[in-house]
Amino acid sequence: MIQLQGKGVSKGVTSGPVYFFRRSDATVTKVENADPAAEKARLAEAQEKSIEQLNRLADKCREEAGEEAAVLFETHAMFVEDEDYVECIMDTMESEGCNAEFAVQTAGEQFAAMFAAMEDAYMRARAADIRDVTTRILNNLMGVIEGGIDSEVPVVLAADDLAPSETLQLDKSKILGFMTQGGSGNSHTAILARTMGIPAICGLGEQLQPAMEGSVAYVDGETGTVTLDPDEPTLAAFEAKRKKQQEMKLLMQTMKGQQDVTLDGREMMVYCNIGSPDDLSAVLNNDGRGIGLFRSEFLYLKASDFPTEDAQFEAYKAVAAGMKGKRVVIRTLDIGADKQVAYFDMKKEENPALGVRAIRICLNRPEIFRTQLRALYRASAFGKVAIMFPMITSVWEVRECKRFCAEVMAELDREGIAYNPKTEIGIMIETPASIFVADALAKEVDFFSVGTNDLTQYTLACDRQANDLGRFFDPHHPAVLRALKIATDAAHAAGIWIGICGELGADLSLLETFLAIGIDELSVSPSSVLPLRAAIRKSTARTCTLEKLDC
Ligand code: PEP
Ligand code: MG
């Protein structure tokens, strides 16, 4: 029996074969004197495979994200066979006697450079499409696996670490659990695992070895233990825990349809955090009363170029309409720090968590911000959308955001496009600055939502990504809890509601403290809704105390 100990970051037990994530880091090398006929045949096969994949993606998009996104993939499929592009590849193979990979890469670079130099902004933006298609053909030539997993059966996915963009590309139906050498509980990859309801363990370090591939891993996302080849008592204990988990799930079903009210009648709004319209079914299955945080940047992380206004509108509309009049808080894009997107072309920063991220990008690059705001306001005609701005530190930022909102609404009026002019506007409270000026900020907006992941990071000066800060990264620290109290008092003095959408919201050991502080809403991953409801219904708000705020 082998046991590895890491940090459990998404609860639940699961078992399955270990599979190591295949990263597409294959580099193209030039092979001289290649056999032209064989290389042409390889190219034809890779083109055929690419077209098949793109058509499949187009069909999926048509069902899930609307026509415009589908057309994009169809255009990519057509480009795979574009006469000029293919002629350029063939010419290179023939004139240089080289392998297909080198010829495809050369043609891709030439065409992308040609488009990037064009006058017209639309045509310039097509350079990204060409790079995307070229990468797809190259991946198929080199046998790189799309989505990182090539397995018929679901697996326990192992990796050194996973970037949020990599996690988003994975085929969820193939994943039973995650285990990584690095990572931290507050990284967006761990947050995604919790949203998907998949057990996950991080920080396993060197104990996790590629030689383990194929062995059956027993993963306990609560204790952070991975067991290979368990002895009988360990296996029995694991199976007992799995059974208990199933029983608990069944018991929690009885919470569906129940009120989120304490024994003495205090209501807490229990909402969900999501990252894409795909998560809507989990919200509905777990009876979430609203969506307290839709991390819209995940739409950008999944894409290979800026999502258009229409593509975003379709995604927001699907969620707004699907929630049938329940509140859907959509956060404007929060790119930066660990959420990096190549096509944003951002300068490398020494301290990205303190750099040009989130609202700072939007205020510096209004064309990106306006596109998103237009999509959000258009979606507001189809449900109860609320717009939320991340990483706020100052009143002027909020006023500038509201000015953009007013401009976008005026534009939609002129164009005769429907929207809800009463769309609520809120901000995330996740910087110490926003706590200190919470009273002034509260007068500007309709609600606050506390991002405790970043608030903890910035208040305690502890990197949320680092997995070796241990006890120093402490979201229970009185400084964090007092900050919550200050923000809550400021919100209530101004007559607005306040919620928590950071991971701390699901921490049942703090529920009484949140009730005592006066928090109005907790937004958690869908799988945490029913256990949270059960805990609220057993609490008595009147007897809750603020003692955890003491040092
Ligand atoms: C937070 O910081 O707590 C939050 C909810 O936002 P994110 O985790 O996406 O930074
Ligand atoms: Mg945050």
Query: pLDDT digits over 400-459, tens only?
Result: 999 999 999 999 999 999 999 999 999 999 999 999 999 999 999 999 999 999 999 999
Q: What radius of gyration do the chain's Cα atoms show?
A: 25
Same domain, 231 and 312: no
Same domain, 421 and 456: yes
545 CA → ligand 2 middle, Å: 27
How far apart, in Å, are the Cα atoms of 26 and each of 29, 138, 143, 295? 9, 9, 9, 31
Q: Is 276 helix (H, G, I), strand (E, B) or coil?
A: coil
Same domain, 344 and 486: yes
How far apart, in Å, are the Cα atoms of 408 and each of 286, 321, 385, 413? 35, 21, 15, 9
Q: Which of 301, 329, 334 to mutate to test the pocket of ligand 1 (most atoms within 8 A of CB)?
A: 334
Q: Any residues with CB less than 8 A from the CB of 507 and at least 6 apart, and which?
A: 475, 476
Which atom of ligand 1 sits closest to the CA of residue 273? 5
329 CA → ligand 2 middle, Å: 14
Question: What is the CATH number for 240?
Answer: 3.50.30.10
Q: Catalytic residue at 76?
A: no
Q: Which of 453, 460, 462, 528 to mutate to test the pocket of ligand 1 (most atoms within 8 A of CB)?
A: 453
Residue finishing a domain among 252, 282, 307: 252
Task: Compute the mean pLDDT over every residue in the chain, rounded to the nearest whole number.
Answer: 92
Residues 336 and 352: beta-carbon distance below 8 Å: yes
Same domain, 280 and 407: yes
Residue finishing a domain among 127, 142, 157: 142
Same domain, 211 and 159: yes
| pLDDT band of 117, cuts 50, 70, 90 | confident
Taking only the tens place, the pLDDT of each residue in 79-102 is 999 999 999 999 999 998 999 999
Q: Is residue 307 part of a domain?
A: yes
Taking only the tens place, the pLDDT of each residue in 188-218 is 878 889 988 899 999 999 999 999 999 999 9
Tell which residue, 381, 385, 377, 387, has the closest CA to residue 290.
385
Q: Is residue 14 part of a domain?
A: yes
Which atom of ligand 1 sits closest to the CA of residue 297? 9
| pLDDT band of 110, cuts 50, 70, 90 | very high
Same domain, 397 and 451: yes
Protein residue closest via CA to atom 1 of ligand 1: 451
338 CA → ligand 1 middle, Å: 11
Supply the range of the domain harboring residue 493: 256-549
Question: What is the CATH number for 116?
Answer: 1.10.274.10
- Catalytic residue, chosen from 202, 401, 501, 544, is 501
- Catalytic residue, chosen from 188, 401, 405, 544, is 188
Same domain, 161 and 299: no
d(CA 476, CA 467): 17
Q: Is residue 28 part of a domain?
A: no
Same domain, 75 and 7: no
454 CA → ligand 2 middle, Å: 5
Q: Taking CB atoms and a 6 Å cutoff, what residues make up the pocket around ligand 1?
A: 191, 293, 295, 334, 430, 451-454, 501-502
Q: Is residue 27 part of a domain?
A: no
Burial class (CB in 10 A: 0-12, 13-18, 19+), 110: middle
Protein residue closest via CA to atom 4 of ligand 1: 451
Q: Catalytic residue at 501?
A: yes
d(CA 338, CA 436): 26
Taking only the tens place, the pLDDT of each residue in 42-65 is 999 999 999 998 888 788 767 755
d(CA 546, CA 160): 41
Asked whether residue 219 carries a pLDDT value surpassing 70, the answer given is yes
537 CA → ligand 2 middle, Å: 29
Q: Dihedral through CA 457, CA 459, CA 460, CA 466, nearest 10?
A: 10
Which atom of ligand 1 sits closest to the CA of residue 186? 8
pLDDT at 38: 92
Which atom of ligand 1 sits closest to the CA of residue 191? 8
Residue finishing a domain among 219, 252, 285: 252
453 CA → ligand 1 middle, Å: 5
DSSP for 63-85, please give it: HHT-HHHHHHHHHHHHHHT-HHH
Q: Is 25 helix (H, G, I), strand (E, B) or coil?
A: coil
Q: What average pLDDT does the segment 277-306 reach?
A: 94
Same domain, 306 and 407: yes
The closest ligand to the CA of 188 turns out to be 1
Which atom of ligand 1 sits closest to the CA of residue 453? 3
Q: Is residue 29 part of a domain?
A: no
Residues 503 and 191: beta-carbon distance below 8 Å: yes
Paired with 225 in beta bridges are 5, 220
d(CA 194, CA 293): 14
Secondary structure element (H or E) that encloses residue 188, with its range:
helix 188-196
Neighbours of 246 (CB within 10 A): 11
